[in-house]
A and B are shown apart, each in its own frame.
Chain A
């Protein structure tokens, strides 16, 4: 069955430090890949997406993610975290050509220390 794994439930980093959030997927073929962010009490905002081509994708708010086919991974990175980045981050996948059933990971909660 298709699945998305975010192995880190909660991560705490210091402001200004680098960040990497892990995401692994299990799928028959390479799906479309997404990262969303959910701030407290808010809906989901799309950070970035990967469909094809360059495996390093840039998103909003200074985030980037790298697709590694050999590792079935799509890790999210940011070189310098800001206090406003504290939120919950969800990795999600959808099968190419599907009717849109996004499969979400369980999320990683990011806390930022001053």
Chain B
């Protein structure tokens, strides 16, 4: 597996502001993903973070709301923009170390509360 860290681990933010979440991996990975886990719910994929190109977003998620960067093979950021209380969730990054097994390993998550 790999060591995956996320910053911040938690935050409380005001409505209308933005928060950038960082995901750092201790080795180069082939794929990185961002998930959202709303309170009491399962995980939903937001997007695939592509190195060197625009992220691939799932239905219901848009770049203006959740811009993603992936400047290299070990790092990615997710920004939650113009936040509302409905954005209160745990945001998790995951990585695939090698294809084709597609085993995803998850970071510890960022717990976001929007007031």
Interface residues of A (CB under 8 A from B): 32, 34, 36, 41-46, 49, 51, 90, 94, 96-102, 104-107
Q: Which residue of chain A has its CB nearest to the CB of B107?
A: A43
* Interchain CB contact (< 8 A) of A34 among B96, B103, B109: B103
Q: Beyond A32-B101, A101-B58, is A44–B42 a contact (Cβ under 8 Å)?
A: no
State whether A101 touches B109 (Cβ < 8 A): no
Question: Does B41 belong to the interface (CB within 8 Å)?
Answer: yes
State whether B92 touches A44 (Cβ < 8 A): yes
Taking A42-B109, A44-B94, A102-B43 as given, write out 18 further A-B residue pairs in contact, using a Cβ cutoff of 8 Å, ordered by the A residue number. A32-B103, A36-B106, A44-B92, A44-B106, A46-B103, A46-B104, A49-B101, A51-B101, A90-B43, A96-B100, A97-B100, A99-B56, A100-B33, A100-B104, A102-B45, A102-B94, A102-B104, A105-B42
State whether A106 touches B102 (Cβ < 8 A): no
State whether A99 touches B41 (Cβ < 8 A): no
Chosen A-B contacts, 22 in total, with CB atoms closer than 8 Å, are A32-B101, A34-B104, A41-B111, A42-B109, A43-B6, A43-B109, A44-B94, A46-B1, A46-B105, A51-B101, A90-B42, A96-B100, A99-B48, A99-B56, A100-B96, A100-B102, A102-B33, A102-B45, A102-B104, A104-B44, A106-B41, A106-B42
A46–B106 Cα distance when bound, in Å, is 8
User: Size class of B's contact patch?
Assistant: 20 to 34
A74–B56 Cα distance when bound, in Å, is 29
